[in-house]
């Protein structure tokens, strides 16, 4: 039972491993050049899945503050406590995350206050806006993945350009035939 | 202005790359001077940074004004200041050399070529000075992409080789990314020093995620570095590339990857973790030994001059990886010094191969037929490089081998010492084969007093822009050899802070 | 193959011990800081864009460089006739075959909308998901749609080949320009806070304005490079006859 | 003058003189006489400098100078002591005579690319003196490598097929042994001893290494310095006979081989220390190795028909005399071996000069063809006779003294087997030298072998070889400087 629960709990990590294996297999053993590139993109998407699954938090929304919260900042405590209360009710079921919550909240307290003093010049109306970090998904992996996607596109583009040049020269996309032609040509 | 120097090292090649891309299309002749100017600027900046590092220890330059864990920061200490200086000087020398090479080989793509050339150097420099693990991945990707393109611009054989390089390189880079992901999962931070602190604070030594992260990163870096079992793509990648591309990539790309490995082992994971906890460093030293032996034998079997040199690079990589994993202070100092001296040695030999190729148009070893008379300057440059690769005393190669062997003896890996000696002997055989052909002429002539046929009369000395960098590199090799005390003392106090136990 | 087989086993072996989904990484102060402080420091509600453009702005700058290199590399590898000034500038005449009515009208309708939407995405990177990259890609896609609908020449007429490169270059220059401006004004590279001297509003507003500027720069480069990759790949470098 | 250490720039100057001499030689490449003049000038300056240091060294003091401090414990430093002075005196004086001879030989045969020849000649000389004056093992190794590289173009001067194979064997032997054996030994010593590797009278390895390591190190270093031509690693020497005669004369009779022997003696006395070797009784092993080489090489020499190869094998034998002398670990043995360096140098160089002269004048290489040559080339053959006397060790020629001391050394050390070996090998020497002179003078010359009239070789060559022959004679009567230097050097090594 424990193993099953383990797998269920980290379901997306399993998928990531399987995807990565498919990608790697394709890249290494496939003979056709284009198939290798496809394998490569599968491989890169597997990594992106892995990163994104790191940043997931139970019951957290996308890392963008709601419209009301942005303006809510203007009338300080009222809106924050109201949203926090609403969330508390919903989260009481997840006793597991209770301690995380408690510890996280004092984190926010500490971060907010320390941040407060060094921004002496910052505008008063923003004040100590209360944003509970557990409400939002961790944004950092998403940023990293933006870069990884772009890198994937770039490598794919260069790969395709090279395959096109090879095709123009050798007339075939099968690596084995290309090697024969080189041997015969040499 | 000087405290901005760290970022200037990078900015000069980066911004000029874009200017060259835009302006180069219209006026081709403007590219070369621009490239030279930018690289001279970055040499100046790296020297200033080195001086500041010597005076005030590690510099931390916060990018975007955010303090380290939030924003990205450059962390420059003894090690990467030295490597940055080497990279910029080698780049400047190759840039001077490249004027004839680029024009003769891909005449209508001069501006693209130089843009990629500068971006490659910017990528490498960024990798050397950055203190952030993910940023290192991005810059790794840039230098990889530019090297695929620089290779693919050569003849058709080079394009096929660069395709293989692309596949292997992407696997290597993605493994590195995965490794960083694993680390991030456990430590939550991307800044190298921060990760290290987290590793110690929550004493994560035991957790297998960190172990797998470590394996992934090291394997990824090994692939990029063409360490022995994973080196398949290197030989024909560099052999058929345009001369300037192989001249810039031979000495630099592999050396910077070795620097990345050392940075990972020392700063991020910490020597205690990397050597004691894992304690399979002896296996790696054995791998390195096989790498050295295979590289040297491979080089023996080659007819093509540049392919032979690429096999030598594989052997040199074996030196450095072995040197690091001896887990011994002198071995570490030796491998770091070897990075610097080997970059110049490989550059000198590749420049020579490039000049021979442009002059005689032939790749094979006999192209060197009877060149002592016709191209004495080039031959002298080559001689210094060859002696340094073999390890004849006054040159830098001797001293780096000196430290490596010392490290080997201290840490009791005798097989490493034997491998080093074996490969220097093989180098001796290789290079004297060339010197012999250069001295005599390819075809053995009977008779008492053989005067060579002077069919090569038309070959004159290489043009100034080709011969000057070769001689400059030779001078640097000698200089490094004689004045290595200062450099070694910088490395020493960098390595000592990790208080590696001297020999297990 | 054996090596990769070994590696796959490695990936398999480490699986059991991973942290649970509400993993420690998220509790570490770094991500906490991003979530809580972005509003304070950059008045930009969308944390992802804030981190993307400001905290790790240096990363994203090299992001754009990666795309730029890809574009240059592809032109470098493929372009047989070279892009030197001396290439005879043929007049991109519209091909005589009459475009098919349905495709023509639909694309005449859609393309402007796509482009407007793309601009919206770029501009609203602060408040809603989106930003330089996404907007740029959509904008580029609109050109590609045009090239597909008609033929390469018409798309070329709109955005001639060497001007694309300039566009891409200008994009990066804008981005790097912000960084260098910060340098000249005394702050470290890419430190937008220092730009308050020239930009209206407080430190945070300066940060969000400069982020917007950077996003536009990124959009330029991405559009230009997307289209140039398409055009060189489609026409195998000759930039003449597309699909 | 009290025995003290004088710090002076002279030793460095000596080495630099011939190095700097290359510049005028290359510049004056075209104008032959001027170029020869430059070589001579360098030769004389060098010899003068060495002589100027002689009195100080004779009085027992050493001249030291450190050039570079590459590493805290590693430096390129010079130290002139009696032993170094003895060798330097031999090398620099013979250099002048050989350049005189080389002019005659080169002009006579109109060899090509002579400028390159002279410049490399000068470089190899500076390397030899560098070895002579080196203060520590590292500098010794540095100049040793430099010498093997500088002599490669000289050995392969003819640039034809044999030169290529000769050159290849020459390099493979010398480089493999030096990198394969000497380098690890060097590093091992560097690690074991925390101090610098300077040569100290009684050796500095005494308390650092155990007996087995000692044995390994001794063997490594003895065979590492392959230039000394010990049996297994000797075949590069006959191979190098391909070179023009002035090269084989100076280098293979005096400079290159003597450098090998010099390094070995330096290592025994300076690194290990005589009494340390005695404790580990390593001396016996080495004496047997040397003894074996002596007997075998003399036997092979008998069979060689080509004159130069015969001389080469006899050199191998003589070198092992020197090593054996030192390995006897007795005062007489040591003095005898050091004296033998000088005596053998003069003797053997005369023989090589004569071989070259015969080759230049008549084009003959093989002994069988040299019947009745005495009548045509009287001076050359008499010089050959005197040279062979000295090498065999018969009175009236300098060689006698050194052989005499060696014999006394064997008696003193009680190794009678060595005494027998010494005597038999002297007989063998006689066996392969006298037939040549006998056939030259007393046999009847049948004209078919020679062209019509044959007279002496190029005048310069003849003057040079008669000079060296005279020197061997003079040394017998007035061993003088060499003897006193050898005596003082043995004192220094023995009583520490």
* pLDDT tens digit sequence for D126-181: 888 888 888 778 888 888 888 888 887 777 777 677 777 777 888 888 888 877 78
Domain assignment present for residue C11? The answer is no
Tokens coding C124: 């609203």
Q: Does D484 touch chain B (CB under 8 A)?
A: no
pLDDT tens-digit readout, C32-64: 666 666 666 666 677 777 777 777 777 888 888
Is the confidence at residue B408, as pLDDT, over 70? yes
Asked if the interface predicted TM-score (ipTM) of this complex is over 0.95, the answer is no
Which helix H or strand E contains B268, and what residues bound it? Answer: none
What is the domain range of residue C111? Answer: 41-82+99-234
Q: Which chains touch B (3 or more CB pairs under 8 A)?
A: A, C, D
pLDDT tens-digit readout, D111-126: 666 777 777 788 888 8
Which residue did the predictor score with more confidence, D59 or B218?
B218
Q: Residue D306 in 3-state DSSP?
A: strand
Q: Residue D5 in 3-state DSSP?
A: strand
What is the rounded end-to-end Cα distance, in angstroms, of chain D?
21
Is the confidence at residue D57, as pLDDT, over 50? yes
Q: How confident is the model at residue D428 (pLDDT cuts 50, 70, 90)?
A: confident
C197 to each of C18, C182, C207, how far by Cα in Å?
48, 10, 12
Nearest to B141 by CA among A139, C232, C190, C70: C70
Which helix H or strand E contains D142, and what residues bound it? Answer: helix D137-155
Are B170 and A51 inside 8 Å of each other by CB? Answer: no
Is the confidence at residue B121, as pLDDT, over 80? yes
pLDDT at D267: 80
The C residues from 203 to 242 touching A (CB cutoff 8 Å) are 203-204, 229, 232-233, 236-237
* Cα-Cα-Cα-Cα dihedral sign, residues C95, C96, C101, C102: negative
Is the confidence at residue A97, as pLDDT, over 50? no
In total, how many domains does chain B have? 1
Are B484 and D176 inside 8 Å of each other by CB? Answer: no
Outline where DSSP puts E strands in B321-410: none
pLDDT tens-digit readout, C79-132: 654 333 333 334 344 444 556 777 778 878 888 888 888 888 887 777 777 777
Is the confidence at residue C13, as pLDDT, over 60? no
In total, how many domains does chain C have? 1
pLDDT at D4: 63
Strands B59-62 and D5-7: unpaired
Nearest to D402 by CA among D482, D301, D467, D466: D482
Q: How confident is the model at residue A84 (pLDDT cuts 50, 70, 90)?
A: very low
Which helix H or strand E contains B61, and what residues bound it? Answer: strand B59-62
Q: What are phi and psi of B301, to 5 degrees?
A: -80, -5
Are C77 and B149 inside 8 Å of each other by CB? Answer: yes
pLDDT tens-digit readout, B296-344: 888 888 878 888 888 888 888 888 888 887 777 788 888 888 888 888 8
Q: How confident is the model at residue A90 (pLDDT cuts 50, 70, 90)?
A: very low
Is the confidence at residue A122, as pLDDT, over 50? no
Tokens coding B429: 């055989």
Q: Mean of the pLDDT values across residues B62-66? A: 70
pLDDT at A101: 36
pLDDT at C19: 47
Among A125-139, B69-83, B142-156, the least confident range: A125-139
**Residue D300 CB contacts under 8 Å (≥ 6 apart), including other chains:** D313
Domain assignment present for residue B95? The answer is no
- Choose the closest CB to B421 out of D112, D161, D183: D183
Domain assignment present for residue B194? The answer is no
Domain assignment present for residue C28? The answer is no
Are D179 and B410 inside 8 Å of each other by CB? Answer: no
What is the domain range of residue B492? Answer: 280-504
pLDDT at B205: 61
Tokens coding A34: 């284009």
Is the confidence at residue B110, as pLDDT, over 80? no
pLDDT at D285: 81
Tokens coding D99: 């350049």
The B residues from 120 to 159 touching C (CB cutoff 8 Å) are 122, 126, 132, 134-135, 138-139, 141-142, 145-146, 148-149, 152-153, 159
pLDDT at C243: 43
**Beta-carbon neighbour count of residue D231 at 10 Å?**
17
Among A94-103, A161-170, B278-287, D259-268, the least confident range: A94-103
Tally of residues, chain C = 243
Q: Please tell me the distance from the alpha carbon of residue B375 to that of residue C156, in angstroms, as a whole number.
A: 51
Name the percent of chain D lying above pLDDT 70: 85
**What value does the mean pLDDT of chain B take?**
78
Give C1→chain B minimum CA distance, Å: 11
Extract long-range pairs of C177-186: CB within 8 Å, 24+ residues apart: C177/C217, C178/C210, C178/C213, C178/C214, C178/C217, C179/C57, C179/C61, C180/B11, C180/B15, C182/B65, C183/B4, C183/B7
Residue D175 with chain B: CB contacts under 8 Å: 390, 425, 428, 432
Tally of residues, chain D = 496
Which residue did the predictor score with more confidence, B406 or D441?
B406
Domain assignment present for residue B433? The answer is yes
pLDDT at C171: 81
Are B393 and D164 inside 8 Å of each other by CB? Answer: no
- SS3 annotation, chain C: CHHHHHHHHHHHHCHHHCCCCCCHHHHCHHHHHHHHHHHHHHCCCEHHHHHHHHHCHHHHHHHHHHHHHHHHHHHHHHCCCCCCCCCCCCCCCCCCCCCCHHHHHHHHHHHHHHHHHHHHHHHCCCCCCCCHHHHHHHHHHHHHHHHHHCCHHHHHHHCCHHHHHHHHHHHHHHHHHHHHHHHHCCCCCCCHHHHHHCCCCCHHHHHHHHHHHHHHHHHHHHHHHHHHHHHHHHCCCCCCCCC
C126: Cα separation from own chain's centroid? 16
**What value does the mean pLDDT of chain A take?**
64
* Full DSSP string of chain A: -HHHHHHHHTHHHHHHHHHHHHHHHHHHH--BHHHHHHHHHHHHHHHHHHHHHHH--TT-B-SB--HHHHHHGGGHHHHHHHHHHHHHHHHTT-THHHHHHHHHHHHHHHHHHHHHHHTTTS-TTT-S----GGGB--HHHHHHHHHHHHHHHHHHHHHHHHHHHHHHHHS--BHHHHHHHHHHH-
pLDDT tens-digit readout, B211-233: 778 888 888 888 888 777 667 77
Domain assignment present for residue C2? The answer is no
pLDDT at D455: 64
Q: Does B215 touch chain C (CB under 8 A)?
A: yes
Q: Mean of the pLDDT values across residues D47-51? A: 78
Strands D5-7 and D62-71: parallel
**Beta-carbon neighbour count of residue C64 at 10 Å?**
27
Domain assignment present for residue B272? The answer is no
Are A131 and C16 inside 8 Å of each other by CB? Answer: no
Is the confidence at residue A62, as pLDDT, over 80? no
Are C48 and A64 inside 8 Å of each other by CB? Answer: yes
Q: How confident is the model at residue A88 (pLDDT cuts 50, 70, 90)?
A: very low
Residue B160 with chain A: CB contacts under 8 Å: 166, 178, 182
Among B198-202, D193-197, D318-322, D419-423, the least confident range: D193-197
pLDDT at B456: 41
Q: Please tell me the distance from the alpha carbon of residue B121 to that of residue B97, in angstroms, as a whole number.
A: 15
pLDDT at A93: 36
Q: Which residues pair with B198 in a beta bridge?
A: none
Residue A154 with chain C: CB contacts under 8 Å: 66-67, 69-70
Of B86-90, C11-15, D180-184, give the range with the top mean pLDDT: B86-90
Residue A155 with chain C: CB contacts under 8 Å: 70
Domains of chain A from N-terminus onward: 1-56+137-186 (1.10.287.3510), 62-135 (no CATH)
Domain assignment present for residue B119? The answer is no
Tokens coding D9: 């720039």
Which helix H or strand E contains B444, and what residues bound it? Answer: none
Are B134 and C59 inside 8 Å of each other by CB? Answer: yes
Q: How confident is the model at residue A107 (pLDDT cuts 50, 70, 90)?
A: very low
pLDDT at D388: 83
By the 10 Å C-beta count (0-12 exposed, 13-18 middle, 19+ buried), D119 is classed as buried
Which alpha helices (DSSP H) does B411-483 contain, by range? Answer: 414-440, 464-482
Is the confidence at residue B109, as pLDDT, over 80? no
**Beta-carbon neighbour count of residue A51 at 10 Å?**
22
Q: Mean of the pLDDT values across residues B85-95? A: 87
Of A70-79, D41-50, D259-268, D459-468, give the range with the top mean pLDDT: D259-268
Q: Please tell me the distance from the alpha carbon of residue B442 to that of residue D5, in angstroms, as a whole number.
A: 53
Domain assignment present for residue C94? The answer is no
Which residue did the predictor score with more confidence, C134 or D8?
C134
- Choose the closest CB to D180 out of B394, B425, B440: B425
Q: Please tell me the distance from the alpha carbon of residue B226 to that of residue B18, in angstroms, as a whole number.
A: 30
Tokens coding C68: 């730029």
Q: What are phi and psi of B445, to 5 degrees?
A: -110, 135
Q: How confident is the model at residue D70 (pLDDT cuts 50, 70, 90)?
A: low
Q: Which residues pair with C90 in a beta bridge?
A: none
pLDDT at D494: 66
pLDDT at B58: 76
């Amino acid at each position: 039972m424990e193993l099953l629960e383990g797998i269920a709990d980290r379901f997306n990590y399993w998928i990531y491993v399987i995807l990565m294996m498919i990608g790697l297999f394709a890249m290494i053993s496939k003979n056709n050049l284009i198939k290798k590139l496809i394998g490569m993109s599968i491989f890169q998407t597997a990594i992106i899945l892995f990163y994104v699954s790191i940043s997931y938090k139970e019951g957290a929304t996308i890392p963008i503050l709601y419209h009301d919260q942005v303006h809510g900042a203007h009338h300080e405590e009222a809106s924050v406590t109201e949203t926090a209360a609403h969330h508390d009710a919903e989260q009481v079921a997840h006793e597991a995350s209770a301690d995380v919550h408690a510890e996280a909240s004092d984190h926010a307290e500490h971060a907010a206050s320390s941040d407060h003093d060094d921004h002496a010049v910052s505008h008063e109306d923003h004040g100590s806006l209360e944003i509970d970090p557990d409400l939002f998904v961790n944004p950092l992996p998403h940023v990293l993945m933006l870069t990884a996607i772009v890198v994937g596109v770039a490598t794919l583009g260069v790969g395709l350009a090279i395959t096109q040049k090879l095709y123009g020269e050798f007339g075939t996309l099968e690596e084995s035939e290309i090697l024969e032609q080189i041997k015969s040509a040499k | 202005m000087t405290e901005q120097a760290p970022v200037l090292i990078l900015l000069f090649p980066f911004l000029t790359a874009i200017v060259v891309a835009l302006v180069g299309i219209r006026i081709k002749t403007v590219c070369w001077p621009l490239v030279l100017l930018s690289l001279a600027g970055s040499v100046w900046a790296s020297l200033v940074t080195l001086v500041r590092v010597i005076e005030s220890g590690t510099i931390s330059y916060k990018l975007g004004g955010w303090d380290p864990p939030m924003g990205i920061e450059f962390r420059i200490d003894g090690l990467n200041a030295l490597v940055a200086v080497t990279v910029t000087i080698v780049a400047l020398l190759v840039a001077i050399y490249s004027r004839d090479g680029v024009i003769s080989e891909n005449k209508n793509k001069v501006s693209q070529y130089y843009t990629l050339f500068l971006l490659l150097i910017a990528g490498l420099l960024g990798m050397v000075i950055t203190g952030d693990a993910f940023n290192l991945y991005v810059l790794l990707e840039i230098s990889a992409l530019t090297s695929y393109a620089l290779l693919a611009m050569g003849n058709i054989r080079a394009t096929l080789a660069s395709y293989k390089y692309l596949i292997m390189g992407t696997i290597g880079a993605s493994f590195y990314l995965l490794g960083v992901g694993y680390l991030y999962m456990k430590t939550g931070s991307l800044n190298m020093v921060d990760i290290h602190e987290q590793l110690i604070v929550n004493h994560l030594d035991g957790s297998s995620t960190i172990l797998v992260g470590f394996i992934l990163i090291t394997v990824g870096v090994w692939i990029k570095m063409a360490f022995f079992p994973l080196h398949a793509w290197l030989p024909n990648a560099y052999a058929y590339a345009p001369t300037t591309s192989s001249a810039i990539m031979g000495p630099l790309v592999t050396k910077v990857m070795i620097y990345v490995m050392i940075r990972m082992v020392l700063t991020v994971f910490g020597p205690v973790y990397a050597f004691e906890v894992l304690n399979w460093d002896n296996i790696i030293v054995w791998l390195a030994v096989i790498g050295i032996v295979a590289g040297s034998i491979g080089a023996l079997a080659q007819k093509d001059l540049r392919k032979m040199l690429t096999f030598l690079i594989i052997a040199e990589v074996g030196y450095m990886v072995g040197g690091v994993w001896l887990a011994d202070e002198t071995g570490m100092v030796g491998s770091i010094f070897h990075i610097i001296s080997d970059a110049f040695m490989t550059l000198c030999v590749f420049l020579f191969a490039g000049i021979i190729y442009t002059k005689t148009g032939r790749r094979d070893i006999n192209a060197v037929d009877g060149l002592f008379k016709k191209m004495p300057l080039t031959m002298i440059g080559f001689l210094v490089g060859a002696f340094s690769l073999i390890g004849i005393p006054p040159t830098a190669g001797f001293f780096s081998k000196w430290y490596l062997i010392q490290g080997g003896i201290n840490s009791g890996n005798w097989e490493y010492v034997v491998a080093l000696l074996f490969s220097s002997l093989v180098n001796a055989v290789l290079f004297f084969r060339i010197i012999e052909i250069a001295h005599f002429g390819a075809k053995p002539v009977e008779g008492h007093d053989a005067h060579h046929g002077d069919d090569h009369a038309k070959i004159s000395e290489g043009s100034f822009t080709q011969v000057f960098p070769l001689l400059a590199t030779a001078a640097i090799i000698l200089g490094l050899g004689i004045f290595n005390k200062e450099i070694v003392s910088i490395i020493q106090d960098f390595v000592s802070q990790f208080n590696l136990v001297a020999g297990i | 193959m054996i090596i990769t087989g070994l590696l796959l086993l490695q990936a398999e072996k480490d699986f059991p011990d991973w942290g649970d989904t509400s993993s420690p990484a998220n509790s570490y102060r770094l991500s906490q800081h991003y979530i809580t402080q972005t509003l304070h420091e950059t008045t930009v509600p969308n944390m992802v864009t804030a981190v993307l453009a400001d905290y790790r702005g240096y990363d994203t700058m090299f992001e754009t460089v990666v795309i730029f290199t890809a574009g240059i590399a592809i032109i470098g590898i493929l372009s047989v006739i070279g892009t030197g000034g001396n290439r005879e500038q043929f007049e991109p005449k519209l091909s005589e075959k009459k475009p098919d009515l349905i495709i023509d009208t639909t694309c005449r309708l859609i393309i402007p909308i796509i482009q407007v939407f793309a601009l919206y995405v770029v501009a609203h990177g602060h408040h809603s998901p989106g930003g330089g990259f996404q907007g740029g890609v959509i904008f580029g896609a609109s050109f590609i749609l045009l090239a597909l609908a008609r033929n390469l020449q018409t798309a070329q007429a709109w955005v001639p080949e060497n001007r694309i490169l300039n566009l891409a270059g200008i994009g990066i220059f804008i981005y790097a320009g912000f960084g260098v401006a910060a340098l000249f004004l005394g702050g470290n590279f890419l430190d937008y806070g220092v730009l308050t001297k020239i930009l209206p509003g407080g430190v945070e507003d300066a940060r969000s304005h400069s982020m917007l500027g950077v996003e536009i720069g990124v959009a330029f480069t991405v559009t230009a490079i997307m289209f140039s990759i398409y055009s060189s790949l489609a026409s195998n470098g000759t930039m003449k006859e597309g699909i | 003058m009290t025995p003290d250490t004088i710090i002076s720039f002279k030793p460095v100057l000596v080495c630099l003189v011939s190095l700097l001499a290359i510049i005028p030689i290359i510049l004056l490449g075209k104008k032959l006489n001027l170029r020869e003049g430059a070589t001579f000038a360098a030769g004389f300056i060098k010899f003068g400098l060495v002589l100027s240091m002689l009195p100080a060294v004779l009085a027992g003091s050493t001249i030291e100078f450190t050039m570079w401090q590459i590493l805290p414990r590693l430096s390129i430093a010079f130290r002139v002591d009696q032993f170094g002075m003895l060798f330097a005196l031999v090398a620099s004086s013979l250099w002048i005579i050989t350049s005189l001879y080389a002019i005659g030989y080169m002009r006579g045969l109109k060899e090509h690319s002579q400028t390159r020849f002279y410049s490399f000649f000068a470089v190899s000389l500076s390397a030899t003196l560098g070895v002579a004056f080196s203060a520590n093992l590292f500098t010794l190794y540095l100049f040793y490598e430099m010498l093997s590289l500088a002599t490669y173009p000289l050995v392969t001067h003819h640039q034809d097929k044999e030169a290529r194979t000769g050159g290849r064997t020459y390099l493979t032997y010398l480089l493999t042994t030096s990198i394969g054996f000497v380098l690890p030994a060097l590093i091992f010593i560097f690690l074991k001893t925390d101090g610098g590797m300077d040569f100290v009278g009684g050796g500095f390895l005494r308390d650092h290494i155990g007996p087995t390591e000692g044995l390994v190190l001794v063997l490594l270093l003895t065979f590492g310095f392959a230039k000394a031509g010990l049996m297994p690693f000797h075949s590069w020497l006959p191979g190098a006979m391909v070179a023009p005669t002035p090269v084989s004369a100076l280098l293979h009779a005096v400079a290159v081989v003597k450098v090998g022997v010099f390094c070995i003696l330096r290592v025994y006395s300076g690194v290990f220390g005589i009494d340390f070797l005695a404790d580990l009784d390593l001396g016996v092993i080495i004496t047997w190795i040397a003894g074996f080489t002596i007997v075998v090489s003399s036997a092979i020499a008998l069979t060689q028909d080509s004159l130069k190869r015969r001389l080469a094998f006899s050199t191998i034998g003589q070198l092992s005399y020197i090593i054996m002398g030192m390995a006897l670990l007795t005062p007489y043995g040591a003095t005898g071996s050091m004296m033998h360096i000088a005596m053998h140098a003069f003797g053997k160089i005369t023989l090589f000069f004569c071989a070259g002269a015969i080759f230049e004048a008549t084009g003959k290489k093989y002994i069988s063809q040299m019947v009745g040559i005495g009548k045509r080339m009287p001076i050359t053959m008499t010089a050959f006779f005197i040279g062979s006397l000295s090498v065999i060790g018969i009175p009236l020629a300098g060689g006698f003294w050194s052989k005499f001391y060696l014999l006394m050394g064997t008696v003193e050390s009680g190794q009678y087997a060595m005494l027998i070996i010494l005597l038999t090998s002297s007989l063998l020497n006689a066996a392969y030298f006298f037939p040549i002179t006998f056939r030259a003078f007393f046999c009847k010359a049948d004209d078919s072998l020679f062209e019509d009239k044959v007279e002496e070789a190029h005048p310069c060559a003849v003057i040079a070889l008669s000079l060296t022959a005279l020197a061997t004679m003079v040394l017998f009567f007035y061993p003088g400087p060499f003897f006193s230097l050898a005596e003082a050097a043995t004192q220094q090594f023995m009583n520490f």
